[in-house]
């Protein structure tokens, strides 16, 4: 994937016209890559919080908090990505508003560890990001008469839902989760309602590349967890080194396999076909990647929790609380299972929905879940992922010409 450099001296203000959805050689810009790196700071913070919850055996409360925090991060990234695909003009105003969204992501990241008890910081960060996006949509409404109603619907819808998020600060702690879930549904409804006034001109190949780049960056967080295992092994005794080696080997197998599986079938062609058929597949594909991204980041938290288990360090150390390791094993296996299911449904199924892909992926998901109850779940999970990859390589090679392209 090549990245074309943007102009060193962008115009102060340009007309924010809709871009050509068939524009050749459309690739991610340096500003988009910078945005991804800043957003992944928030992803890393959310995954680290989940890791600590797993180490302290608080997954019952940690998982909902992680899921909600990740939604706020991912949803803002998603909205920026699809808007930029349709309207990026790279003028100074556009860059400044994008930097404002980056600032909001960092504020949000600071509040992730205490989301439910003290959600003010997260909601302020979310507000900063959303206000910047509203201004972008209003600029687009002014300069794109053909899609003015669509742009205004986006702006008004985001403002209404964001006002509700701010009002949620007044909700008692015990009632926040259902209120937050309701607001998530409202957030998801905004693009669907807005696009009924006329679809925006997003670029299928550009969107697919943006998602793939973000997936790679999230996988980098998983690799970091494996690197932490190596660091721990350097100072461990012989017995611990063997256990930590299992985490390292399993982590490498998982990351390499899911990376290959994700990119085994290109998504752009399926996205383009879905737009042409008018079936709203791009909504399902775009929104559904929440499962892929969130579970991929959770894999890193699971590997880090397994390192804690084998080295007897973590938040529960010294408190006399027994650690069977089952919680960390379930976190790792569950995250990988969701990730594999998401890769099949959103990346592979569009090219080959039949049993020759559904059966191997289904068997792998069940095997990964069962691995949580074995002595070395990280190794067995990695072996299952590698085995699934081998099957997918064979199946993709047997596909008729064009089916796997």
113-137 pLDDT, tens per residue? Answer: 777 777 888 889 999 999 999 999 9
How many C-beta atoms surround the C-beta of residue 152 within 10 A? 17
CATH number at residue 306: 1.20.1410
Q: Are residues 181 and 210 in the same domain?
A: no
Mean pLDDT of the chain: 86
Greatest pairwise CA separation for the chain in angstroms: 69
* pLDDT computed for residue 235 by the predictor: 64
- Among residues 168, 195, 222, the one where a domain terminates is 195
Question: Mind giving me the DSSP string for 385-400?
Answer: HHHHHHHHHHHHHHSP
Over range 81-90, report the average pLDDT. Answer: 93
Residue 291 lies inside a defined structural domain of this protein: yes
310 in the same domain as 171 = no
Residue 8 lies in a domain: no
Domain boundary among 172, 195, 218: 195
Q: Do 38 and 177 share a domain, yes or no?
A: yes
Q: Are residues 266 and 351 in the same domain?
A: yes
Closest CA to 360 of 291, 261, 266, 284: 261
Q: Are residues 41 and 187 in the same domain?
A: yes
Within this chain, do residues 208 and 258 fall inside the same structural domain, yes or no? yes
Of the listed ranges 13-27, 178-192, 350-364, the one predicted with least confidence: 13-27
Number of domains in the chain: 2
Distance from C-alpha of 134 to C-alpha of 128, rounded to nearest angstrom: 10
Give the model's confidence band at 402: pLDDT under 50 very low, under 70 low, under 90 confident, else very high. very low
209 and 294 share one domain: yes
**What is the reported pLDDT for 98?**
93
Provide the residue range defining the domain that includes 172. Answer: 30-195
Which of 195, 229, 264 delimits the end of a domain? 195
Least confident of 44-53, 75-84, 203-212, 376-385: 44-53
Whether residues 216 and 170 fall in one domain: no
Percent of the chain predicted with pLDDT > 90: 53
Q: In this predicted structure, what is the pLDDT of residue 238?
A: 61
Q: How confident is the model at residue 202 (pLDDT cuts 50, 70, 90)?
A: very high
Phi, psi at residue 80, to the nearest 5°?
-65, -40
**Do 113 and 226 have their domain in common?**
no
Contact between 127 and 162 under an 8 Å Cβ cutoff? The reply is yes
Does the pLDDT value for residue 105 go beyond 90? no
User: How far are the Cα atoms of 233, 246, 305, 312, 376 from residue 238, in angstroms, in the given order?
Assistant: 9, 13, 20, 14, 17
In this structure, the answer to whether residues 248 and 128 fall within a common structural domain is no
- Residue 9's pLDDT band, with cuts at 50, 70 and 90, is low
Q: What is the pLDDT of residue 321?
A: 40
Asked if 109 and 190 sit in the same domain, the reply is yes
Question: Would 380 be classed as within a structural domain?
Answer: yes
CB-neighbour burial class of residue 262 (10 A; exposed 0-12, middle 13-18, buried 19+) = buried
Q: Kindly state whether residue 156 falls inside one of the protein's structural domains.
A: yes
193: pLDDT strictly greater than 60: yes
Is 50 exceeded by the pLDDT of residue 1? Answer: no
Task: State the pLDDT confidence band at 394, using cuts at 50, 70 and 90.
Answer: very high
**Predicted pLDDT of residue 308:** 82
| Per-residue pLDDT band at 313 (split at 50, 70, 90) | very low
Confidence at 240, pLDDT banded by 50, 70, 90: low
Residue 219 and residue 361 in one domain = yes
Residue with tokens 């959600």: 119
**Average pLDDT, stretch 262-283?**
81
Would residue 293 count as lying in a domain?
yes
pLDDT score of 307: 85
The verdict on residue 99 lying in a domain is yes
Split at pLDDT 50, 70, 90, the class of 315 is very low
Residue 20 is assigned to a structural domain of this protein: no
Q: Give mean pLDDT, residues 14-29.
A: 88
Model pLDDT, residue 366: 98
Q: Which residue shows structure tokens 């058929």?
A: 277
- Whose tokens are 């256990």? That residue is 243
């Amino acid at each position: 994937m090549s990245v074309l450099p943007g102009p060193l001296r962008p115009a102060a203000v340009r007309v924010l016209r809709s871009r050509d959805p068939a524009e050749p050689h459309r690739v991610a810009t340096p500003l988009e890559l910078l945005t991804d790196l800043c957003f992944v700071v928030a992803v890393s913070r959310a995954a680290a919080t989940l890791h600590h919850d797993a180490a302290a055996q608080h997954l019952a409360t940690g998982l909902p908090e992680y899921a909600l925090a990740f939604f706020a991060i991912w949803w803002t990234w998603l909205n920026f990505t699809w808007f930029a695909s349709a309207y990026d003009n790279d003028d100074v105003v556009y860059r400044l508003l994008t930097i404002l969204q980056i600032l909001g992501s960092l504020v949000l990241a600071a509040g992730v560890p205490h989301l439910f008890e003290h959600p003010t910081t997260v909601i302020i960060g979310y507000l900063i990001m959303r206000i910047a996006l509203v201004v972008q949509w209003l600029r687009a409404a002014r300069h794109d008469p053909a899609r003015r109603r669509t742009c205004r619907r986006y702006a008004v819808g985001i403002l209404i839902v964001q006002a509700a998020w701010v009002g949620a600060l007044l909700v008692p702690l015990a009632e926040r989760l259902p209120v937050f879930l309701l607001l998530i549904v409202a957030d998801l409804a905004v693009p669907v309602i807005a696009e009924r006034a006329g679809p925006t001109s997003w670029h299928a190949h550009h969107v697919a590349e943006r998602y793939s780049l973000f997936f790679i960056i999230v996988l980098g967080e998983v690799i970091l967890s494996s690197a932490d295992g190596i660091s721990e092994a350097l100072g461990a005794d012989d017995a611990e080194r063997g256990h930590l080696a299992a985490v390292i080997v399993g982590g490498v197998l998982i990351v390499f396999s899911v990376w290959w599986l994700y990119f085994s079938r290109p998504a752009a062609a399926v996205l383009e076909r879905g737009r042409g058929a008018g079936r709203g597949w791009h909504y399902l594909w775009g929104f559904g990647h929440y499962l892929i991204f969130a579970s991929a980041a959770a894999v890193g938290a699971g590997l880090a929790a397994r390192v804690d288990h084998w080295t007897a360090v973590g938040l529960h150390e010294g408190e006399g609380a027994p650690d069977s390791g089952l919680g960390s094993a379930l976190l790792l296996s569950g995250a990988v299972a969701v990730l594999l299911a998401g890769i099949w449904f959103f990346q592979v199924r569009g090219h080959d929905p039949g049993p020759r892909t559904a059966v191997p992926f289904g068997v792998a998901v069940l095997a990964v879940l069962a691995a949580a109850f074995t002595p070395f779940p990280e190794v067995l999970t990695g072996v299952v992922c590698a085995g699934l990859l081998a099957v997918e390589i064979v199946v993709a090679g047997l596909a008729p010409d064009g089916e796997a392209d």
